[in-house]
Amino acid sequence: MPRRLFIFDAPDRFVPGSIGEPGNRTFFLQVRKGEAVVSVALEKAQVAVLADRLADLLKTIDRGPDAEAAPMPRDDSPLDEPLQDLFRVGPMALAWDPATDKVIIEAQPMSEDGDYVETADDDADGPDLVRVRIERGQAREFVRRAEALMAAGRPTCPFCGEVLEPTGHFCAQTKAHLN
């Protein structure tokens, strides 16, 4: 099957989201430009790491002379329907292009070795790729939304920090079963 490239420069929307109940959610990255919508599935930890790395990148590049970035309106809308994932994300890459002052996020499907494969865009062989180039303000909004998404999960035990299951939790700190 030939390689598929999905490249979005200045998309209308680039957001993390989930469907399902806490503890049983499926996480997605979704990008939209005009009528084109692409969704990829990924793990909750991948969303958290991407948001964390994006926040670190923004702290670094915001120290420069061009630190002003247009704020983006909050986007708390649900993911666009129909929600069909293109692939399950494996390796991702994050970069900043100083020439365009854009943040670049790339996602490739899961592979057996889990390594990111650098391939020229015109190469017919290689993994599928979703590439998104976004403004700093859009990156900040992505981080904000991802942090809210992570906080909306299951609560944690105030004593040991482990996730509280709906059926309760045995706390190692208190040596007791908590509900």
Name the residue ranges covered by the structural domains of the chain.
5-178
Q: What is the pLDDT of residue 70?
A: 66
Mean pLDDT lowest among 32-36, 93-97, 125-129, 139-143: 125-129
Per-residue pLDDT band at 9 (split at 50, 70, 90): very high
Fold of 5-178: Secreted effector protein pipB2 fold (3.30.2450)
Q: Is the pLDDT of residue 16 over 70?
A: yes
- Give the separation between CA 84 and CA 37, rounded to whole angstroms: 10
pLDDT averaged over every residue in the chain:
89
Q: What is the pLDDT of residue 64?
A: 61
Amino acid at 49: V
- Give the separation between CA 66 and CA 136, rounded to whole angstroms: 11
Q: Quick one: 36 exposed, middle or buried, by C-beta within 10 A (0-12, 13-18, 19+)?
A: exposed
Q: What is the pLDDT of residue 23?
A: 81
Per-residue pLDDT band at 72 (split at 50, 70, 90): confident
Q: How far apart are the first and last CA of the chain?
A: 50
103: left (phi over 0), alpha (psi -120 to 50) or beta: beta
Q: Is the pLDDT of residue 140 over 80?
A: yes
Per-residue pLDDT band at 155 (split at 50, 70, 90): confident
Q: What is the pLDDT of residue 124?
A: 85
- Give the separation between CA 40 and CA 151, rounded to whole angstroms: 21
Mean pLDDT lowest among 8-17, 19-28, 40-49, 140-149: 19-28
Q: What is the pLDDT of residue 171?
A: 80
Q: Is the pLDDT of residue 55 over 80?
A: yes
- Give the separation between CA 88 and CA 29, rounded to whole angstroms: 10
